[in-house]
Structure 1
Amino acid sequence: MSERPAGAAEETTGIPSGTYAYVGIVALYAATIVLGLALTDEVAAMGLAMFEDPGNVGNVGVFAAILLVATAGMVAAFRYGYGEALVRAFLLGSASTLTAVAFVALTGVGEIAASGSVAMGLPTSPASIAVAAVTFAVLWTYPEWYVNDIAAVVFGAAAIPMLGLGFGPLPVVVLLVAWAGYDAYAVYVSGHMQELAAGLGDLKAPIVFVVPHSRSFSMRDPEFDLMGGDESSADGAPDTADGDRPPEGAASPARSEVALLGLGDAIIPGMLAVSAGRFLDAPTVVPALNANAPALGALVGGLVGMAGLLYLVHRVEGAHAGLPPLNAGVLGGYLVGAVAAGVPVTTALGL
């Protein structure tokens, strides 16, 4: 989600206020997907694909059901004030175990339970358990924005190949189209995505990328409020003319001090890049990233979609869904890359 940013005026450098924060958001988005691509072979060798039959379109329904149930549970917890500590413990525990997955994939030290086990994805050796425990302790006791951002990049990069390896061309295309539609509904119709984002902000969990406009900003401030009002946004900014802190009662100071992007807005598009590199028969272009032309096209297309999202944010007032422009860019870049690699469009779409 996103709405018009506060940084409408220009600073003395001639650069619009908040520009550096948005550059940081784009960098975090790209870093998560690039690292996810780089970990694909290692995650595959560890047997951590979410689904054993990547060509089954039914995987989309299972994945959607899991996310919808989790979303409903979190919204209910935030709305009625019950179980918020459990939600935070679950989110930080998930982030910690995925960080352990990334650690094992990067270093080869430690072990993670493979698919087929009831403990799939959980650390099973002293080294990997220690990484998960230390990560959990740090995220629980010191939820500063840069700590959460680093954690989000690392565990998001582990999640991308685990999910992407479970979706072949047709299922992942269906997923991206369906989830873009759901995101639009959740923002523009039901509004529950704003409620979810506000609750996650209160928990200070590394589920949202946060980049402040000023160095003095701290998420550890007792009065910190990520959304700061009755609307939530991917950039956290109120509609003010000069980017200054809004008057008391208008919105939380945080809304004019940070740029925001949900981690899911990187994971969902990143799944297509991983799937393309794994399942499309095209020459590898960047071996270090396990990336062929369709995978690179998806990555570049996502950046184009991000540019479109930021343009929309600056031009149209109000909250906006992020996945429609992001997924459109990813799918477009993916198909362009497939054609460039000599892969028929029908094959790229899994038809």
Structure 2
Amino acid sequence: MSDKIIEKYFDNVAYKTVVTLLGVIGAVVTIYAFLQEKKVDLRYEIIANTNVLDFNADISKLEVAYDSTNLKQTGENLRIYTVKIVNNGNENIIKEFYDENDLVGIKLSSGKIIEKPELIQSSNDYLKRNLHFKDYQKDKVIFSRVILESEEFFIIKLLVLHKINEIPEIISFGKIAGQQKIAVVNSTDVKQELTFLKKAFYGNFWTQLSRLIAYFIIGAIIFILIMELSVKLDKRKEYNRKRKNVVNFKNLKDYQYTRMDDAIFDRYLEGKYSFMGLSNLKEISNLVKDEKELNDKYKVLSEHVKSKEYKLFRRDGGDWSLINEMLNDGIVFKENEELRINQAMKDTLEKFLDYLSSKGEF
């Protein structure tokens, strides 16, 4: 019985498909893990570029001074830059990646930094403790060498004094191993560049792997539900087809229906697939061909079920179970401890099998 159950599952299309899909996903994940390209992508994102003052309105009595300098008279303005320095790649930036002769930093195309840069946010405590501004000059800032893991970042604020008609640009400098140039982008551009595909495949290997597993689980559940529905529909269609065969057989002129024949028809209909019901009926047909052979087999099986081996392992012989089912169905009956074949049901069984054969069931 257990062998039949195992065979049934392995013959199930949905089971085979799911196992195949699992194998394919496993292979893809393995290949992806080996082929995933590790890359460094240090990037400066300008989060804010804010005017501190606005001299568009000409107010003659208004004077604005900074460090005893009248900014209106000198034609200067104050601007605050908020810059996010982020490792946008999937490779961690370690200290060995920095070139000591060309350290990483920011410089201005014009204007000057008038106050010491301020660290206003960091993605972890390590950066908060270890990030320093090594060389703070009027037009540039050099960062200390810090470990910047994938997707980690820190944000700095710069107060810049510049000519009104010359808005400074942020320029990157320095060398990181594995990266040609440090890009400077606006945060609005970063949001715009996240297209559907980039959103779908954004993140490091473990992020992608987690996403892939989640997608697979959801997809597998949907797939299994669809397959379950498909199997149920197929079962219903198969049952209706078999039921039609039974109805057509009952309407044959050379057949006289009796209620005891329903045991044969029910056994045909109960099979999950057509071959299962047919196989069962063919086995019964073989057993009832010869009454003497049937009794000889029954006696041998009766002794077998009394053995210690049967009691210990409960090995359920196929013919033993089938003969007992035949007794329940009335295809055979006992008389003086001997099995007798119900000739009328035997004739119906043979006719029914011949009819099914003529319809291409075999």
TM-score w.r.t. length of structure 1: 0.19
Q: Which has the higher contact order (CA 8 A, sep 6+)?
A: 1
Q: Larger strand proportion, structure 1 or 2?
A: 2
**Which has the higher Rg, Structure 1 or Structure 2?**
2
Q: Larger helix proportion, structure 1 or 2?
A: 1
